[in-house]
Amino acid sequence: MPDAGSLAALVHLGHPVIAMRAPRAAWSDGPVDVDTAVWLINEVLDDGSPASQIEASSLLCEHAGDLCDNRDGHGGEFSWPALLYSRWPTKPVRACRFEILFAIARVVLSRDKSWWGYDYDWSLVLLDEAMMKDPDPVLKHCARHLLRPLAESYAAGANRRNELKLPGVTRQRICL
């Protein structure tokens, strides 16, 4: 696999689709560095062409289960594009945003709740952002239906729904 510097150069020289295809091939064969692939996905989602953003989001969704650290003692640790921790992207094309939505669900569902502990609150914030800010009504509807069971699961661990306190997320919106 090319190193991070050469992949970054491809992105910044206007060839993000080519940069995205290198980790796709390597990831399928197993030798890809997950952190480098996630960094590259982040760069392309932030500043790539619509075609490269679809490629990046598709790769993220395809390998969502591979983003979690499987080593003992690393529960709740995973790699995720920094751009997607607390802000829903509204500018990428619809197909890209749907892939991101599916990637959120796939990464959270790739491990059981005990592995996550309470470290999946980022997904609740992001789904709430999608539900409130995405321009597509179908995507908003899908985000709402993904958010509800995750929020209920998160709140159930706190034993009382009113203990659910997430930055930028109101209890009224989560309980829809």
Q: What is the pLDDT of residues 35-52, one digit of tens each?
A: 888 888 998 898 888 988
CB 166 within 8 A of CB 124: yes
Q: What is the pLDDT of residues 9-36, one digit of tens each?
A: 666 667 666 666 666 666 656 556 788 8
Is residue 176 scored above 50 in pLDDT?
no
Residue among 46, 65, 55, 51 nearest 23 (CA): 55
Which range marks the domain in which residue 154 is found? 4-174
Give residue 6's identity as a one-letter amino acid code: S
Q: How far apart are CA 12 and CA 6, in angstroms?
A: 10
How many structural domains compose the chain?
Answer: 1
70: left (phi over 0), alpha (psi -120 to 50) or beta: alpha
Model confidence, pTM: 0.79
Q: What is the pLDDT of residues 73-122, one digit of tens each?
A: 778 888 999 999 878 999 999 999 999 999 999 999 888 888 887 677 88
Adjacent-strand bridge partners of 166: 169
- The pLDDT value recorded for residue 47 is 84
Is residue 67 scored above 60 in pLDDT?
yes
Q: How many other CB atoms sit within 10 Å of the CB of residue 66?
A: 17
3-class SS at 57?
helix
CB 66 within 8 A of CB 34: yes
